[in-house]
């Protein structure tokens, strides 16, 4: 084999090993299964058929907002990013990312609001507002079926670590940790609900219980309220760290946005 | 209604109640081996009230995890042993300790300690300083569990 080819191979293998090592640690000790595998056949059909998936309404609205100029002077998202199908493909599969300016990770919603303040001269969109859910769903939808690929960024490590700690922390009057249900008891029934593995790959998603679209932060807050804990505020660092940990844990799973859940 | 929805609905209705005082509002009890022999309140509870309480998922939470001889079997949990026959398997004192503080029996148990207010993280405001069930309620639940002979 030619020397350069051999070198390339070695470098490639080293890179591969690095990626595997970076993610292996986060792998849950069971086969990863999307929340979709725990829903009823009717709910699954809703998600899998775009013409009946209610979340697609938000995706369409997000596409409209993507092309719309913001405020009197701000450009549209499309003004900077062009066609989302190309520029936004794979983006959601890599989030949350590290933001050097704040020294903290931010999620996709945070990125959208950062673009608004930095490039569009517009106020942030409120958490769970139709606009923020629609834009986030539209951007995330561009990564549908692509595997979650957590970035190999050392600066994220302490935040992933904190996410992992929170995931294992007992919370609330009922005194349970996320891991108690989602690592150790998935597939069991909590009252009438099947416990999924808590993968964040379908968000924002349409939840039949909410009768609307909702963010991952809303979902996690619901679980906290379920154990009678004081939920972290929307936008709290802890929620982003939990998302960061969950995304590492879901490495390799396909993005499903917009998913449908019971 | 979903499990968290059930609890959320409850959260908004229970704001009143005893304030968290400087002293523990909990009564003392004595553990012998794996049981608490004497009722927490010095008198036995009411089995009929206990049955209502256990069937009420919002109040007692029992059926989030357990199944048993109760209405609505599809809305019962599979995370814990079936409560059918538990009164034959365990004595009254053993049942009392398990409801009061399961983790004394099984340290890694997910069953919450029903009569405890310390060592908890981020308890939501309506429940701060309160055990999941009062001493009276625990006695009612125990009185009912004793009757579950098969």
* Closest chain B residue to A226, measured at CA: B4
Residues 6+ apart with CB under 8 A from A67: A76, A77, A78
Cβ <8 Å between A209 and B5:
yes
Nearest to B118 by CA among B108, B128, B104: B128
Please name the member of B74, B123, B127 whose beta carbon is closest to the beta carbon of A192. B74
Please name the member of B3, B57, B122 whose beta carbon is closest to the beta carbon of A230. B122
Q: Is the pLDDT of residue B17 over 60?
A: no
Enumerate chain B positions whose Cβ falls within 8 A of a Cβ in A: 2-8, 11, 57, 61, 63-65, 74-79, 110, 112-113, 120-125, 127, 130, 132
pLDDT of residue A23: 47
pLDDT in tens, B115-145: 999 999 999 999 999 999 999 999 999 999 9
Interface predicted TM-score (ipTM): 0.91
Question: With respect to CATH, is domain B4-147 assigned 3.40.50.720?
Answer: no
Catalytic-residue membership of A115: no
Residue A201 and residue A246: Cα distance in Å, rounded?
A: 9
* Chain Cα centroid distance, residue B100: 7
Residues in chain B: 150
Residue B34 and residue B32: Cα distance in Å, rounded?
A: 6
Cβ <8 Å between A171 and B121:
yes
Query: Both tokens of residue A185?
Result: 């008891």
Nearest to B64 by CA among B53, B51, B50, B75: B75
pLDDT of residue B25: 86
Residue A46 and residue A53: Cα distance in Å, rounded?
A: 5
Contact B30, B36 (CB under 8 A): yes
Query: How would DSSP label each residue in A81-92?
Result: H--HHHHTTTTG
Interface test with A, best of B57, B77, B104, B133 (most A CBs within 10 A): B77
Nearest to B54 by CA among B86, B81, B26, B83: B83
- pLDDT 10s digit of each residue in chain A, 262 long? 455 555 444 444 444 444 444 444 567 789 999 999 999 999 999 999 999 999 999 999 999 999 999 977 789 999 999 999 999 999 999 999 999 999 999 999 999 999 999 999 999 999 999 999 999 999 999 999 999 998 999 999 999 999 999 999 999 999 999 999 999 999 999 998 999 999 999 999 999 999 999 999 999 999 999 999 999 999 999 999 999 999 999 999 999 999 999 9
As a dihedral over the C-alpha atoms of residue A259, residue B2, residue B8, residue B13, rounded to 10 degrees, the angle is: 150
pLDDT of residue A227: 97
Q: Which residues of B touch A238 (CB under 8 A)?
A: none
Cβ <8 Å between A229 and B122:
yes
Interface test with B, best of A181, A196, A228 (most B CBs within 10 A): A228
Domain parsing of chain B, residue ranges:
4-147
Q: Which residues of A touch B6 (CB under 8 A)?
A: 191
Residue A35 and residue A257: Cα distance in Å, rounded?
A: 12
Residue B73 and residue B70: Cα distance in Å, rounded?
A: 7
Interface test with B, best of A169, A173, A198, A208 (most B CBs within 10 A): A173
> What is residue B112's three-state secondary structure?
coil
Q: Nearest CA to CA, how far is B80 from chain A (Å)?
A: 10
Residue A220 and residue A211: Cα distance in Å, rounded?
A: 17
Q: Nearest CA to CA, how far is A150 from chain B (Å)?
A: 30
Q: Please state, in angstroms and as integers, the Cα–Cα distance from residue A219 to each residue in A62, A187, B5, B43, B112, following that order.
A: 21, 18, 12, 43, 23
Query: How would DSSP label each residue in A98-112?
Result: EETTTTEEE-HHHHH
Contact B34, B97 (CB under 8 A): yes
Query: How would DSSP label each residue in B37-80?
Result: -S-TTSS---HHHHHHHHH-HHHH-HHHH---SSS-GGGS-SSS
Query: Both tokens of residue B51?
Result: 């049955």
Query: 């903290």: which residue's tokens?
Result: A104
Please name the member of B2, B123, B127 whose beta carbon is closest to the beta carbon of A193. B2
Beta bridge partners of A214: A205
Cβ <8 Å between B79 and A209:
no
Residue A140 and residue A78: Cα distance in Å, rounded?
A: 15
pLDDT of residue A71: 77
Query: How would DSSP label each residue in B81-110?
Result: ---TTHHHHS-HHHHHHHHHHGGGTSTT--
Local confidence band at B6 (pLDDT 50, 70, 90 cut-offs)? low
pLDDT of residue A26: 64
Query: 């998600």: which residue's tokens?
Result: A47
Peptide bond into A107 cis (omega under 30): no
Local confidence band at B15 (pLDDT 50, 70, 90 cut-offs)? very low
């Amino acid at each position: 084999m030619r020397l350069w080819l051999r070198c390339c191979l070695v470098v490639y293998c080293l890179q591969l090993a690095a990626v595997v090592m970076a993610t292996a640690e986060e792998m849950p000790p069971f086969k990863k299964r999307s929340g979709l595998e725990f829903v009823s056949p009717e709910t699954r059909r809703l998600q899998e058929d775009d013409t009946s998936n209610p979340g697609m309404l938000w995706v369409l609205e997000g596409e409209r907002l993507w092309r719309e100029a913001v405020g009197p002077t701000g450009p549209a998202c499309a003004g900077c990013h062009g066609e989302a199908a190309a520029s936004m493909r794979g983006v959601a599969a890599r989030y949350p990312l590290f933001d050097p300016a704040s020294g903290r990770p931010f999620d996709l919603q945070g990125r959208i609001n950062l673009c608004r303040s930095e490039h569009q001269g517009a106020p942030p969109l409120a958490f769970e507002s139709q606009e923020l859910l629609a834009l986030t769903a539209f951007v995330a939808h561009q990564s549908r079926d692509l595997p979650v690929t957590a970035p190999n960024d050392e600066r994220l490590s302490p935040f992933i670590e904190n996410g992992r700690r929170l995931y294992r922390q007992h919370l609330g009057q009922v005194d349970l940790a996320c891991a108690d249900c989602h690592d150790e008891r998935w597939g069991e029934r909590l009252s009438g609900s099947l416990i999924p593995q808590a993968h964040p790959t379908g968000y924002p998603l349409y939840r039949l219980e909410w009768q609307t679209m909702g963010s991952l932060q809303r979902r996690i807050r619901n679980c906290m309220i379920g154990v009678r804990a004081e939920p972290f505020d929307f936008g709290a660092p802890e929620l982003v760290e939990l998302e960061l940990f969950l995304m590492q844990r879901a490495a390799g799973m396909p993005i499903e946005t917009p998913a449908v859940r019971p | 209604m979903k499990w968290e929805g059930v609890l959320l609905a409850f959260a908004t209705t229970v704001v009143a109640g005893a304030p968290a005082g400087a002293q523990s509002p909990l009564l003392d009890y004595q553990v012998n081996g794996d049981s608490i022999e004497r009722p927490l309140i010095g008198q036995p509870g009411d089995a009929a009230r206990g049955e209502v309480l256990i069937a009420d998922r919002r109040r007692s939470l029992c059926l989030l995890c357990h199944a048993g001889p109760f209405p609505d079997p599809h809305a019962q949990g599979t995370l814990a042993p079936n409560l059918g026959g538990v009164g034959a398997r365990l004595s009254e004192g053993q049942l009392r300790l398990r409801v009061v503080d399961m983790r004394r029996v099984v340290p890694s148990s997910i069953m919450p300690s029903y009569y405890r207010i310390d060592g908890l993280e981020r308890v939501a405001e309506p429940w701060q300083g309160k055990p999941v069930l009062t001493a009276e309620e625990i006695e009612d639940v125990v009185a009912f569990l004793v009757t579950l002979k098969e």
